[in-house]
């Protein structure tokens, strides 16, 4: 019995077989990206590429689905790929331990993806990836900020221009900068209300938002579901 049998009952065998041959690239496999990967793998996709230059940190344990005590200090791509293989040993998952930026975006082009999931934290890298995908006509969806939120019922997926007034600093920057680059109508997951907390942890010189197990994982699964629905 295939582990995807019940999924096929939902979408139909023919549609399932057609969509799961598609190539998905996930850029960033932390909170949102790790959950998106989980959804994509468990749905039954066979061809996946993941990009991340980070290692698992103990502070990731409160929310990132790929993270365990045993994984602390290991490359996120290696940990994520091992988890994917433990679900589906036959999966073709390529790992890239690189920080995606303007100079190496052709890595993605060479993969010929059918969809790109942008779960990057860096504003500059996020903008470069989005601009690249739009220029190359590669379907892409981005996650906006999921930090400082306990309630996870306010997420929607719509055009990034619709984020005005939601109190998300990342959304604001993305709206402004994408407009400067002549990019409109970009698809994004975002939270419709302002963050519930503005507390930050500036340890090691990095300002990091507060986080909890709920919002990033709900957001990642929502992004994965959107990609599936679009490909179907």
pLDDT at 202 over 80: no
Q: Which residues pair with 190 in a beta bridge?
A: 156
* Distance, CA of 33 to CA of 21 (rounded, Å): 20
Angle at the Cα of 38 (from 185 to 30), degrees rounded to 5?
A: 70
The pLDDT tens digits of the residues spanning 126-152 come to: 999 999 999 999 999 999 999 998 888
pLDDT of residue 220: 98
pLDDT of residue 199: 53
pLDDT of residue 206: 57
Task: Give backbone dihedrals phi and psi of 177, rounded to 5 degrees, phi first.
Answer: -75, -35
pLDDT of residue 213: 94
* Distance, CA of 95 to CA of 206 (rounded, Å): 26
The three-state secondary structure class of 94 is strand
pLDDT at 122 over 70: yes
The pLDDT tens digits of the residues spanning 161-177 come to: 999 988 888 999 999 99
pLDDT of residue 1: 63
The pLDDT tens digits of the residues spanning 57-91 come to: 999 999 999 999 999 999 999 999 999 999 999 99
Residues whose CB falls within 8 Å of the CB of residue 19, separated by 6 or more in sequence, listed in order: 11, 45, 228, 231, 232
pTM of the entire predicted model: 0.95
């Amino acid at each position: 019995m295939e582990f995807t049998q019940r999924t096929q009952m939902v979408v139909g065998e023919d549609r399932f077989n057609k969509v799961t041959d598609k190539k998905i690239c996930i850029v960033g496999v932390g909170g949102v990206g790790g959950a998106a990967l989980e959804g994509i793998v468990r749905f039954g996709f066979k061809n996946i590429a993941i990009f991340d230059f980070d290692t698992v940190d103990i502070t990731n344990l409160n929310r990132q689905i790929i993270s365990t005590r045993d994984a602390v200090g290991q490359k996120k791509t290696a940990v994520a790929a091992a988890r994917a293989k433990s679900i589906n040993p036959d999966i073709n998952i390529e790992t890239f331990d690189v920080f995606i930026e303007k100079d190496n975006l052709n890595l993605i082009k060479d993969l010929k993806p059918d969809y790109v999931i942008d779960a990057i934290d860096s504003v500059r890298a996020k903008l470069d990836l989005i601009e690249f995908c739009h220029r190359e006509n590669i379907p892409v969806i981005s996650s906006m900020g999921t930090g400082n939120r306990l309630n996870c019922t306010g997420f929607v997926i719509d055009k990034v221009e619709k984020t005005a007034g939601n109190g998300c600093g990342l959304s604001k920057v993305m709206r402004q900068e994408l407009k400067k680059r002549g990019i409109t109508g970009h698809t994004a997951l975002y939270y419709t209300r302002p963050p519930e907390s503005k507390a930050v942890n500036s340890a090691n010189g990095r300002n990091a938002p507060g986080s909890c197990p709920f919002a990033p994982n709900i957001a990642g699964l929502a992004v994965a579901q959107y990609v599936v629905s679009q490909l179907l």
